[in-house]
Every structure is written in structure tokens, then in C-alpha cells.
A and B are shown apart, each in its own frame.
Chain A
């Protein structure tokens, strides 16, 4: 005979199991390690439950409320935690391989060192049938749709995990293994991903604003549709030559010390073609007449930088911050400038106080033929005599921009934001 619903653990049995487990953890009398493997514990309200080191493989906690629960070192292999409230819970070093953690509230939770890898399921001769089996999660833990704000995932193994739509705003993922993870639509605003392994990760429509990516591995990652505005790729060398790294290092020091230490990067008239400097902070650096054919500067910062007469043909500057920059007479033909920010800088005085004086970007005479300026912010920019023929201005903010004698397509402003009626 199968096990009927009536044979499920009673509330008394569950409470007793938890009590014994707590006693076991304290090495107390009558203590026994909890084994709730395969048990149906769905919908239970167990705040601050202590299941540290418990055997919970395959258990069903669907819609359970377990805020501030302790699951450190627990065996949660292939467990179902879908729609659980797990705020502030501790999953440090837990075995979460193949777990279903969809649509959970894991805000402020700790998953440090947790193992969320997937596996392969073989069903003999009928693989298709096996693939349809319940609770299967062969490609990595499924955390899709979960809220994980401020969660600690340092060192966790999220290889192949499904993190689509997850809110990881402000989360820490230092050294986290995200190889092949699906982060589509996830919000990683302000997340700390230092030294994380993102090789092969999917970041379509992923928001990584102001994220820390210093030292992160990012091979085979396409950031085309990711929002990296303000993201810090720090000192990750990205294949740069040593002498260039030295210049960048000194420039960072110069920025951090407000010019007291280090040296402002002087890269004028140099050939930086095909280099990848995405995410770097190059604010204030000199790039006059620099050649940057096909270079990658996605999400890099060029606040008040001087790029006058630079040859930036085909450059990738998606989500780059070019506030107040000087790009006069630069060649940016066919440049990728989606989401780039050319808005004015609010100047500060020597004490660091805002003066209220705006310093617009200078794009006078710039060649932007065929450039992709979708969602770019060109408000207040000086675009006198700029060539915008064939440029994609969909969603581009041109309000208050100076377009005197600029070369434009007919209907160029149809999809742009001009601030005009």
C-alpha cells in the first residue's frame, strides 16, 4: 500500500522532531538528528526553525513560512522551497543541489558556501518520460522569481542555476560560482560580484547598475542587453597589456585621492584599438586624438574626460557615462552608444560642494553617422555641426541639446525625446 495523506506526520510529530533535533544540536538528553527527508511540510509556519545539519532531502516546504530559519549545513538535496518565506534565513554551506527555490522571499538570507549545482537525470531507455517527472531540476537550483535583496551568497556554487527575474539588489556574491547561470531579467543593482565566476552566464536584460565586478570572470558573456550603467569592473585586467594596467592603476589612485596621489591617465594619440576596458573608471583621463577602433568601453566612466578628435569608429560604449566629456570633432561612426550618458555634470567647488553650474558634454562637430544612440542621454549636449546621419535615436534624450547646423535624417526626431511639443 502507498502512504496516504492520513499517514503524514502529525503536527505533534513534527514539533517533537524539531525539539529532539534542537536537543541533538545541543548534545542534550533525548536528542536526535532530524530526518524529514521526503516529508510533506508544505504551508507550515515555522519561524526561526532550527534545522541546522538536518536531513531534509526531497522534502516539500512549498509555501512554508520560515523566516530567520537556520539551515546551515543541512541536506536540502532536491528540496522544494517554492514560494517559501525565508527572509533572514541561514543556508550557509547547505546542500541545495537540484533544489526548487522558485518565487521565494530570501531577502537578507545567507547562502554563503551553499551548493546549488544541478545534475543530469537519466531515465533508461525513455529519457523523454524521465524528463517529465515531477520535481526534476537537472540544470541547477531553480531560484527564478525569488527576492534575494541584500542576501549573502559569497562563495556559493550557483553553477547553471536559474536566477531569472531574481531580485539580488545589494546582494553580495563575492567569489560566487555563477558559471552558466541564467540571470535573465535579474536585478543585480549594487550587487557585489567581486571575483565571481560569470563565465557563460546569460545576462539578457539583467540590471547590473553600480554592481561591483572587480576581478569577475566574464568569458562568453554577452552584455549586449544588460544594463551596466555605473558598474565597476575595477582592476579586472581583461587581457590588457601590463603597461596599460599600470596606467589604469595610477589613474584610479589619482581619482580616489582627488589628484593627491597617482597620475591622471594620459592616453592621447595612442592606439587602443580592439582593447576591452569595459566598466573601467577613466573619468578625467586624456584621450585626445586616441585611436580606439572597435574597442570595448561598455559601462566605462569618462566623466569630464577629453576625447577630442579621437577616432572611436565602431567603439562599444554601451551604458558608458560620458557626462561633461569633450568629444569635439571625434569620429564615432557606427559606435554602439545604447544607454550612454552624455548629460551635463553639476560642477563641484574645491570643497566638493555642488555649485549648481552645469557643464554639458561637448560633441560639436562629432561624427555619429550610423551610431546606435538608443536610450542615450544627450540632454543639454552641444551637438553643433555634428553628423547624425543614419544614427538610431530611438528613445534618445535630446532635450535642450544644441543641434545648430547638425546633419540629421528626415524624421530623425520621430522616436527621440526632444522636450518639444
Chain B
């Protein structure tokens, strides 16, 4: 396997993992939103951090290396499924990048934000 093939393989695995994580979030969204709304101190949002293949927070340095853009991420089937689930709940979901560390480089991590209530 050439380095290029290896890179493509990892890219494919990473996208599949992200896709699966969206599905997983969709499955727990109803319960999590209900808990946030009804907790003793009502909350205004629910956040989920996406993970990489090693189970660590998914960093933009990794997605950039595999040319996985935010646009590609939100085009996965899993994300569309999540959006549908959210719409049923009158909740808004979006993927954003959040500051993670600044040294030696600025690194951001991906997260899914659910809010709108």
C-alpha cells in the first residue's frame, strides 16, 4: 500500500466514523434535550464533541490533512439523519469548530451544537 493509498484509507475511515457519530447523536438527542430542558437548572444548549479514530477530540489539523472540509462533514448521510431528528424535536443542530489549543499552532475541534429552545 502506498502512502497515498494509506491516506485515502484513513480519510474514508474517518468520514465513516464521523457519519456513525452523527447517527449515534441522533439516537440520543431526544433524551439529552429533554434532560437539558427539564433539569433543576434549565439549560440552553447541548454540545457533543466529535472524536477521531483514536477516540480523541477531532481536530481541524486532522481533517485538513485529509482534505475533509466542514462542507463534506455536513453532507454525510449521518448528519442529514441527525438534522431530520432535530427537526422533529423543533431543535436546531449545527457543526462548528471550537478553540482547543493555541500552541504551537491554533487547533480547533469539531462539535455538534443542539439548541433553539
Contact = CB atoms under 8 A, between A and B. Distances in A.
Contacts of B39: 120
Contacts of B96: 37, 57-58
Contacts of B100: 133-134
Contacts of A135: 98-99
A5 B103 CA distance: 9
B29 to A, nearest CB: 10
Nearest to A119: B45
Contacts of A129: 56-57
B31 to A, nearest CB: 11
B48 A123 contact: yes
Given A57-B96, A120-B32, A133-B57, A4 B105 contact: yes
Interface stretch (B5-13, B77-85, B106-114): B106-114
Given A2-B61, A38-B108, A119-B36, A124 B49 contact: yes
Contacts of B32: 120, 122
B109 A160 contact: no
A125 interface: yes
A124 B64 CA distance: 22
Interface in A157-208: 157, 159-160, 179-180, 200
A134 B57 CA distance: 11
Contacts of B44: 97-98, 115, 117-119, 157, 159
B23 interface: no
B60 A120 contact: no
Nearest to B105: A2
B4 interface: no
B2 interface: no
A120 B32 CA distance: 8
Contact of B42 (A3, A126, A159): A159
Given A159-B41, A180-B41, A78 B51 contact: no
A60 interface: yes
B43 A160 contact: yes
Contacts of A123: 48-49, 51, 57
A117 B43 contact: yes
A124 B55 contact: yes
A139 interface: yes
Contacts of B108: 3, 38
B103 to A, nearest CB: 9
B101 interface: yes
Contacts of B47: 119-122, 138
Instruction: Point out which of B21, B43, B60, B115 has the most chain A C-beta atoms below 10 A from its C-beta.
Output: B43
Interface string A1-30: 111110110000000000000000000000
Secondary structure call for the A interface: loop
A134 B59 CA distance: 13
Interface residues of B, number: 40
Contacts of B45: 77, 97-98, 117, 119-120
B89 interface: no
B71 interface: no
Contact of B49 (A78, A133, A139): A133
Contact of B21 (A37, A38, A124): A124
A230 interface: no
A82 to B, nearest CB: 13
Given A119-B46, A120-B32, A134 B99 contact: yes
Nearest to A59: B99
A130 interface: yes
A134 B64 CA distance: 21
Given A2-B60, A2-B105, A179-B41, A38 B49 contact: no
Interface string A92-110: 0000011000000000000
B64 to A, nearest CB: 6
Interface string A31-50: 00000011010000000000
Interface of B: 21, 24, 28, 32, 35-36, 39-49, 51, 55-57, 59-61, 64-65, 96-102, 105-109, 113, 115
Given A124-B21, A135-B98, 11 more contacts: A2-B106, A3-B60, A5-B102, A38-B98, A122-B32, A124-B51, A126-B55, A133-B49, A134-B99, A134-B101, A159-B44
Interface of A: 1-5, 7-8, 37-38, 40, 57-58, 60, 77-78, 80, 97-98, 115, 117-126, 129-130, 133-135, 138-140, 157, 159-160, 179-180, 200
14 contacts: A4-B105, A5-B102, A37-B96, A40-B102, A60-B99, A117-B43, A120-B35, A120-B39, A123-B49, A123-B57, A124-B24, A133-B109, A134-B99, A159-B43
